[in-house]
Amino acid sequence: RLGGLSYFAGAEKKDEHVLVPDLGSLTSVHDRARELFYYLKGGQVDYGEEHSRIYGHSQFGKVYEQGHYPLWDEQHPVHFVGHSAGAQVIRLLQQMLADKAFKGYENTSEDWVLSVTSLSGALNGTTRAYLDGMQPENGRSLKSICLLQICRIGVIVYDWMDIALFKNYYNFGFDHFEMRWRKTGISGLADLLLGNSGPFASGDWILPDLTLQGSLKLNSSLQTFPNTFYFSYATKRTKRIMGVTVPSSVLGIHPLLFIRVLQMCQW
């Protein structure tokens, strides 16, 4: 969430039954799925012991003193709506529920999810990831010079500085990697920038999951379930003016996102 800007145009303010969680914007599909579970049920986010060890971050994260829907279970299932990578987050969460992957919650099942609606979901990845800078050969590493390298450096410095005013306005979701200066110091910042540590070094962030290779790997472990309704919608919000593709409307685009929106229109 960018400041007070709602991701779903304030839907959560129009109906008390609508919840819009604020999950990490650059964190991996796995980490978001874990966060979404605890956002609803409550408790401290547990990313999983094995996953945390492999990718080099803390096993535990944010604490939700009160879940946003603690009644959630098979008798009180939820309709999920996900945009872009959010669609894959929901699918992985449902698989985790089916696999009973949450310690202390042995009664979870796929039937906790009544429906999954995808809005322009990256269900099979997106070639945009390569245009932004992911290496097409492996779908994990970055090109030496690309837009994502600028993003990587900016995010590392942003999280390392750990300025509360900025973090409260926008958080990339990497707090469990503990990149702040009080924890890592100058030498830690150097390691992060050189690609020796952190989410960009381990590959535990969203762009590898959005490549064709990452999506193929993820989808190979996911199932669809007979008691769940699945819907997928493709959308378009551009038009062509004198041969140039532009947004259908500039109203409602956050100023900090405007250049990015124009860049995406050229895809």
Cα-based torsion angle of the residue sequence 127, 133, 136, 138 in order, rounded to the nearest 10 degrees? -120
Sheet holding 78-83, edge to edge: 78-83, 113-119, 229-233
Bridge partners of residue 80, in order along the sequence: 116
Do 122 and 159 contact (CB within 8 A), yes or no?
no
Helix-then-strand count for the chain, H and E? 12, 7
* Rounded Cα distance, 90 and 19, in Å: 14
* Rounded Cα distance, 208 and 159, in Å: 20
The H or E element containing residue 114 is strand 113-119
Q: Where are the domains of the chain?
A: 11-127+210-238, 128-209, 239-267
pTM, two decimals, is: 0.92
**Closest listed residue to residue 222, CA positions, set 121, 95, 57:** 95
CATH T-level topology, domain 11-127+210-238: Rossmann fold (3.40.50)
- Tens-place pLDDT, residues 103-155: 999 999 999 999 999 999 999 999 999 999 999 999 999 999 999 999 999 99
Mean pLDDT of 83-105: 97
Residue that wins the pLDDT comparison between 8 and 214: 214
